[in-house]
Amino acid sequence: MSEQLVFDRPEVVIDRATHYCPGCHHGIAHRLVGELLEEFGLAEKTIMVTAIGCSVFLYNYLNVDAVEAPHGRAPAVATGVKRARPDKFVFTYQGDGDLASIGMAEIMHAANRGERMCVVFVNNTVYGMTGGQMAPTTLIGQKTTTCPGGRCRDTEGMPIKMAEIIATLGGVKYAARGSLDSVKNIRQAKKYLKKAFECQINGTGFGFVELLSGCPTNWKMTPVAANERITNELIPYFPLGVYKDATEEGVC
C-alpha cells in the first residue's frame, strides 16, 4: 500500500530548527497560527508583534513581517501598527509573564477599546526565558525560582484566569481557552484561533485565545510528565472553552 501524505508544513512556517526546549508546545502554536495564515491567504498582509519571552524569536519561524515590542507592550505596539495600517492583519503572540503581569495594563485597555487585532496568549504558568520565576498564572503549590516552597494563596493570591477576565470587557468580540496537550485539544484550539482571526478579518473587534502549554525545563519534568500535568492540573483550574462569542453582534 502506498503512503498517503496527511500533513505538510505550511509554507509560512520557516523550515529550520527552533531554540525551544524539548517538549515545549510553542512549536505547535506556531504551526496552528501558520496554518491559519495560509488558509486565509493572510501571509503577505500580516504584521505580527512579539515581546520579551520565549516567543520573542517568533519572527525566525514565521515568514511574515514583524515588530518586536518591549516586555509586555505588544498590545500597545499592535494598536499603533493596526491604526497606522488598518489594511494589515495584526496579531500579538505573548506568554503569561509578558501578558498577564508586565503587560496587564496594555492587554486590558487594548481589549476594552476593542482594537481590531488578535492576541495569541500562551500560558505555561511560569516565566520561561527569564529564569523560571513565578508568573500570575502559576498554580497554588507550584514551585518556581521565586517561590521555591510553592505558590501560597495567602501571600501571592490565586492564579489569574485571563480568558475569563478578558471576556468581561466591552470591546472583546471573542475570548476562548484551548490546550496543546492532545490531538483532540489541538484541533479544537485551532478552531478557537480561526474564530478569533475571523473577528479581525470581518472587522468586528478584538479576538483573544489562551493556549495552555507545557514548560518541561522550568517545571523540571520530562516532556511526557509535563504534558500529563496540563491534562491533570492546568485544565481543571483553567477550564477549556469559549468564554465570549459576540461575533454575530456586528461591529462594535
Q: Domain extents for the chain?
A: 26-249
pLDDT given at position 250:
59
How many Å apart are CA 223 and CA 186, to the nearest integer?
16
| Amino acid at site 21 | C
> What's the pLDDT at 4?
82
- The DSSP string of the chain is ----------TTB--S--SPPTT-SHHHHHHHHHHHHHHTT-GGGEEEEE-SSGGGGGGGTB-SEEEE-STT-HHHHHHHHHHH-TTSEEEEEEEHHIIIIITHHHHHHHHHHT-S-EEEEEE-SS-TTTTS---TTPPBT---SS-TT-B-HHHH-PPP-HHHHHHTSTTEEEEEEEESSSHHHHHHHHHHHHHHHHHHHTT--EEEEEEE---HHHHT--HHHHHHHIIIIIHHHS--EEEEE-GGG---
HSE on the CB side for 126, CA within 13 Å? 29
> CATH class for domain 26-249?
alpha beta
pLDDT score at 251 = 57
**pLDDT for residue 1:** 67
Tell me, what's the pLDDT at 129? 80
CB crowding 222-237: b at 16 or more within 10 Å, else e: eeeebbebbeeebbee
Phi, psi of 109 (to 5 degrees): -75, -35
Q: What is the pLDDT along the chain (252 residues), one digit of tens a residue?
A: 678 877 778 889 999 988 899 999 999 999 999 999 999 999 999 999 998 888 888 889 999 999 999 999 999 999 999 999 999 999 999 999 899 999 999 999 999 999 999 999 999 999 988 887 899 999 999 999 999 999 999 999 999 999 999 999 999 999 999 999 999 999 999 999 999 999 999 999 999 999 999 999 999 999 999 999 999 999 999 999 999 999 877 555
C-alpha cell read off for 48: 505580527
Predicted TM-score (pTM) of the model is 0.94
The per-residue pLDDT for 65 is 95
For the CA atoms of 28, 175, 68, 187, what is the dihedral angle to 10 degrees?
A: 10
Residues paired with 208 in a beta bridge: 119, 175
- pLDDT, residue 53, reads 82
Whole-number pLDDT of residue 7: 73
